[in-house]
Amino acid sequence: MIPRAALVTGGAGFIGSHLVARLLGEGCQVTVLDDLSMGKRENVPSAARLVIGDVRDREAIDDALAGVDVVFHLAARVSIRASVAGFYSDAETNLMGTLNVLSACGEHHVRRFIYASSMAVYADSPQPTPLSEEYEPRPISPYGVAKLACEQYAQLVGAQLGFDTAVLRYFNTYGPRQTFTPYVGVITIFVQRLLRGEPPLIYGDGNQCRDFVHVDDVVDATVRAMTTNERATVFNVGSGQGMTVNQIAALLCARLRPDIKPEHLPEHPGELRNSVADITRANQQLGYRPRVRLEDRIDEVIAWNRGA
């Protein structure tokens, strides 16, 4: 059953704004809480209510939660690399901000809390084989540590405060409206560099394998988690297929600048070597089936970046 009203924290951002549009299309009243540090006001559909504020600000959260049944908590500092040096600010927003939202959800009698976690909670894998939700949770970055802690808090606190919890571990999401930063979204970063006539920069040998999943598929899984009867369940959200960073760079160079070759730099600490999702649980329990092939939709990402 679609809820009467939902809150999307981080709803002016990349994934959040796509989720807001989908929820509105399902007939849901939507409130967005976003501090606009990364998200953009123009990403928020006019039919949604926008509360400009930080997840660490209890007054803003209380305002945003008025009349809400379901909370989608997507607001976060999303950068594995930046979290290594900035571990305090990462935890301040990603951990303490989440606890602030959880506390308020209990007081506002929210029915369901859906937490956007990350593949970064997993231990590194020696092989690019799909990882199930039972794979060892041993993050190698401060970002992953905070995300794993939030998963556990959400499930524990939700049970204590009387609301159901679903945890979604997003893998490498791509698509239109992804804000360019030097740290997040390798596809967007490579496209931006190639549009400027600069080579893609690959950290390490480029054979690290990732699961690239389109934002439309991520949103579909997220909406499905809103209505599942499962309690406190963790789901991988990916394509179930792996591609190396070298393959991504070669694909984009061929589309944009065949005359440019990638450059390799020393690898960064804190980044997983192999990260591919086993999506069996999401398929069986949510009916989730990713429908987008990267090769079929990469041109829309390029077009959006040209106009950004």
Q: Which of helix, strand or coil describes residue 124?
A: coil
Q: What is the spatial distance between Cα 182 and Cα 162, in angstroms, rounded to a whole number?
A: 40
Q: What's residue 56's pLDDT?
A: 96
Counted domains in the chain: 2
72 half-sphere exposure, CB direction, 13 A CA radius = 33
Q: Based on the domain organization, do 93 and 108 belong to the same domain?
A: yes
Q: What's residue 256's pLDDT?
A: 96
Give residue-wise pLDDT tens across range 238-250.
999 999 999 999 9
Q: Based on the domain organization, do 144 and 192 belong to the same domain?
A: no
Q: Based on the domain organization, do 146 and 98 belong to the same domain?
A: yes
- What is the set of active-site residues? 143
Q: Based on the domain organization, do 229 and 193 belong to the same domain?
A: no
Residue 197 lies in a domain: yes
Residue 179 lies in a domain: no
SS (H, E, C) 22-54: HHHHCCCEEEEEECCCCCCHHHCCCCCEEEECC
Q: What is the pTM of this model?
A: 0.94
Please count the other Cβ atoms lying within 10 Å of the Cβ belonging to residue 162: 11
Report how far apart, in Å, the C-alpha atoms of 128 and of each of 108, 131, 210, 214, 304 are: 43, 9, 8, 19, 30
Q: Based on the domain organization, do 169 and 256 belong to the same domain?
A: no
Q: What is the spatial distance between Cα 159 and Cα 165, in angstroms, rounded to a whole number?
A: 8
Residue 123 lies in a domain: yes
Residue 154 lies in a domain: yes
Our measurement of the distance from residue 81's CA atom to the centroid of its chain's CA atoms, rounded to an integer in Å, reads: 15
Q: What's residue 82's pLDDT?
A: 72
Q: Based on the domain organization, do 109 and 256 belong to the same domain?
A: no
Q: Is 23 within 8 Å of 3 (Cβ atoms)?
A: no
- Helix (H) or strand (E) run with residue 192 in it: helix 186-195
Residue 181 lies in a domain: no
Q: Based on the domain organization, do 66 and 114 belong to the same domain?
A: yes
Q: What's residue 254's pLDDT?
A: 96
User: Which residues of the chain, if any, have pLDDT below 50?
Assistant: none
Q: Based on the domain organization, do 132 and 198 belong to the same domain?
A: no
CATH number at residue 282: 3.40.50.720
Q: Based on the domain organization, do 109 and 138 belong to the same domain?
A: yes
Residue 72 lies in a domain: yes
Residue 103 lies in a domain: yes
Residue 180 lies in a domain: no
Q: What's residue 175's pLDDT?
A: 95
Q: What's residue 128's pLDDT?
A: 93
Domain that residue 42 falls in: 5-174+213-240+278-291
Q: Based on the domain organization, do 76 and 201 belong to the same domain?
A: no
Q: What's residue 179's pLDDT?
A: 82
Q: What is the spatial distance between Cα 288 and Cα 106, in angstroms, rounded to a whole number?
A: 29
CATH number at residue 302: 3.90.25.10
Q: What is the spatial distance between Cα 298 and Cα 215, in angstroms, rounded to a whole number?
A: 12
Residues 6+ apart with CB under 8 A from 105: 65, 71, 113, 158, 161, 163
Q: Based on the domain organization, do 150 and 66 belong to the same domain?
A: yes
Q: Based on the domain organization, do 39 and 151 belong to the same domain?
A: yes
